[in-house]
A and B are shown apart, each in its own frame.
Chain A
Amino acid sequence: MLNWLQGIGHSVFASISRIGRAALFLWQCLLALSYIPQKPMLLVRQMYSVGVQTLLIILVAGIFVGMVLALQAYIVLVDFGAEESISLMVSLSILRELGPVFTGLLFAGRAGSALTAEIGLMKSTEQLSGMEMMAVNPMKYVIAPRFLAGLISVPLLTAIFMAVAILGGFFVATEMLGQYEGVFWSQMQAKVDFYDDLINGMIKSLVFGFVVVWIAVFEGYDCVPTSEGLGQATTRTVVHGSLAVLGLDFVLTALMFNV
């Protein structure tokens, strides 16, 4: 019994200590962002690695999500004679929820895990220690550019996901289900609000990007520098990142729509 209680206490203290380290790490990372204007190429390289290399999965996922949504919308709406509202269902679902959430999840799986693995491997091969001994702060040189690149990339990828998904829905609605193009766009134009729907979706994507990239770079920097520790850190990035996206989505939706 005493051992069991001790185990719980140890886990609680370890978790609190880890949260504290993560908060301190974030603070140092934010301070280190001031270094990037001196070395803009570091950011450009990471934008390519984190953003551009995630583009393909975002495009493919976006197009299929849009197409499936249009089909599902048609199946439901046709019973009520409201199949003209396919574009409305597709666009609102994509802009408010699926765009930011899917992008956040895909980013955590593709770029987040890669960031953790890369930073963790740099730690286990002593590259980060080597930088410190060369008087180059790895927080400035390694972490901050990756953090900012992720922060910029996620909203951009979300915008691309949204556009592609709506085009996927448009293709299904017009080419497969025979809806007029004008009806598709006019329904969307009439009911979708720029601020309530699009801007709120982009705010969500910014929050998701911030949290996922924070988790990814912290897990890499804080990992146990062994092959097992690196594997566990990468898994934690995907699991914690995905759960954070889903949990925050609920909180943000409740706040944005005053539920």
Chain B
Amino acid sequence: MDIHQGQVTAIMGPSGTGKTTLLKLIGGQLKPDAGTVHVAGENIHKLSMKALYDLRRRTMGMLFQSGALLTDMSVFENVAFPLREHTRLPESAIQRLVMLKLEVVGLRGARELMPAELSGGMARRVALARAISLDPQIIMYDEPFTGQDPISMGVIVKLIHDMNHALGMTSVVVSHDVAEAASISDYIYVISAGRVVEHGTPKSIRHSSSEWVQQFMGGLADGPVPFHYSNTPLMDDLMPQGKRGEA
């Protein structure tokens, strides 16, 4: 699997198929049983802890599904957190940078709010501002559209698209929201049960010959992935074999 610099790459697949695990492998939070992961030319799982943290600081940002905001800090403090930890900028510069990042996501006016006072969509936008506070080269989005109302979803789709093009980032979007992810991605990997089943541009994926991909992209209830979890006939459960004669 190759993720190209400057592109939006979507990793799609049904729930529980290993999409978030893949992001954690790229971020070095999990170790692979086999194979290697190279980020910015470095084999991420061969790095020492110090080098790994250094690589994350220099190159990576991540938007978690829950936002993962620090609940004891305000919106402003959350966005300022990586700047305070990794730079020696004066407070006035941090103030300006945080305001600029919050302006990008449209939440400059919410800087005094605490995470508990934010809606789900706002929390993700704050998390996005925090993820870009150190201007990473790669930004990873874990299910950014899940559980969002249509307006919040539209805002996040726009932000991912605009930031990628304006800031020249490499974006990796993990999602099972087909339409939204396909609308902003340059390249798509479709995975199932830990394997890549199809990859290509959004157009080529839509015209894939794979029945499985067609079922996934079209959101069809039945197909290669059966509607029924069990294959045993219903009659077996309603009336066990031995008792059919009695009935």
Question: Contact between B85 and A134 (Cβ–Cβ < 8 Å)?
Answer: yes
The answer to whether A134 and B56 touch (CB under 8 A), given A125-B71, A127-B71, A129-B29, is yes
In chain A, residues 138-173, which have Cβ atoms closer than 8 Å to a Cβ of chain B? 141
Task: Provide the residues of chain A in CB contact with B71, threshold 8 Å.
Answer: 125, 127
Partner of A130, one of B54, B62, B86: B62
Question: Contact between B66 and A137 (Cβ–Cβ < 8 Å)?
Answer: no
Does chain A have a CB within 8 A of B13? no
Complex: chain A residue closest to B62, CB-CB: A133
Does chain B have a CB within 8 A of A196? no
Does chain B have a CB within 8 A of A193? no
Question: Contact between A127 and B70 (Cβ–Cβ < 8 Å)?
Answer: yes
Partner of B54, one of A129, A135, A136, A141: A135
Partner of A133, one of B29, B54, B66, B81: B29
The answer to whether A132 and B65 touch (CB under 8 A), given A125-B71, A127-B70, is no
B56 to chain A, nearest CB (A): 4
Most buried by B among A130, A133, A137: A133
B65 to chain A, nearest CB (A): 7
Does chain A have a CB within 8 A of B60? yes
Most buried by B among A132, A135, A136, A137: A135
B52 to chain A, nearest CB (A): 9
Does chain A have a CB within 8 A of B68? yes
Does chain A have a CB within 8 A of B212? no
The answer to whether A135 and B64 touch (CB under 8 A), given A127-B71, A129-B29, is no
Does chain B have a CB within 8 A of A126? yes
CA distance A125 to B123 in the complex (A): 13
CA distance A135 to B53 in the complex (A): 5
B122 to chain A, nearest CB (A): 16
Complex: chain A residue closest to B27, CB-CB: A133
Partner of B81, one of A129, A132, A134: A134
The answer to whether A129 and B56 touch (CB under 8 A), given A134-B81, A134-B85, A136-B85, is no
The answer to whether A135 and B86 touch (CB under 8 A), given A127-B68, A129-B29, A130-B68, is yes
Question: Contact between B56 and A126 (Cβ–Cβ < 8 Å)?
Answer: no
| Residues of B within 8 A of A (CB-CB), count | 24
Complex: chain A residue closest to B52, CB-CB: A135
Task: Provide the residues of chain A in CB contact with B82, threshold 8 Å.
Answer: 134-136
Task: Provide the residues of chain A in CB contact with B81, threshold 8 Å.
Answer: 134, 136
Does chain A have a CB within 8 A of B61? yes
Task: Provide the residues of chain B in CB contact with A129, threshold 8 Å.
Answer: 24, 29, 64, 68
Task: Provide the residues of chain B in CB contact with A133, threshold 8 Å.
Answer: 27, 29, 56, 60-62, 64
CA distance A126 to B134 in the complex (A): 20
CA distance A131 to B29 in the complex (A): 11
Does chain A have a CB within 8 A of B57? yes
Task: Provide the residues of chain A in CB contact with B54, threshold 8 Å.
Answer: 135
Partner of B68, one of A125, A135, A137, A141: A125
B50 to chain A, nearest CB (A): 10
Complex: chain B residue closest to A49, CB-CB: B72
A188 to chain B, nearest CB (A): 44
CA distance A136 to B61 in the complex (A): 12
B109 to chain A, nearest CB (A): 24
Complex: chain A residue closest to B86, CB-CB: A135
A73 to chain B, nearest CB (A): 46
B66 to chain A, nearest CB (A): 5
Question: Contact between A135 and B70 (Cβ–Cβ < 8 Å)?
Answer: no
Most buried by B among A127, A130, A131, A136: A130
A230 to chain B, nearest CB (A): 15
Task: Provide the residues of chain A in CB contact with B62, threshold 8 Å.
Answer: 130, 133
Task: Provide the residues of chain A in CB contact with B53, threshold 8 Å.
Answer: 135, 137
Task: Provide the residues of chain B in CB contact with A135, threshold 8 Å.
Answer: 53-54, 56-57, 60, 82, 85-86
The answer to whether A125 and B66 touch (CB under 8 A), given A133-B60, A133-B61, is yes
Complex: chain A residue closest to B56, CB-CB: A135
CA distance A126 to B61 in the complex (A): 14
In chain B, residues 53-101, which have Cβ atoms closer than 8 Å to a Cβ of chain A? 53-54, 56-57, 60-62, 64-66, 68-71, 81-82, 85-86
Question: Contact between B57 and A126 (Cβ–Cβ < 8 Å)?
Answer: no
A interface residues (Cβ-Cβ under 8 A, vs B): 125-127, 129-137, 141
Closest 8 CB pairs of A and B: A130-B68, A135-B57, A126-B68, A135-B56, A133-B62, A135-B53, A126-B64, A134-B82
Name 16 A/B residue pairs within 8 A (Cβ), A-sorted. A129-B64, A130-B62, A130-B69, A130-B70, A132-B29, A133-B29, A134-B56, A134-B57, A134-B85, A135-B53, A135-B82, A135-B85, A136-B82, A136-B85, A137-B53, A141-B85
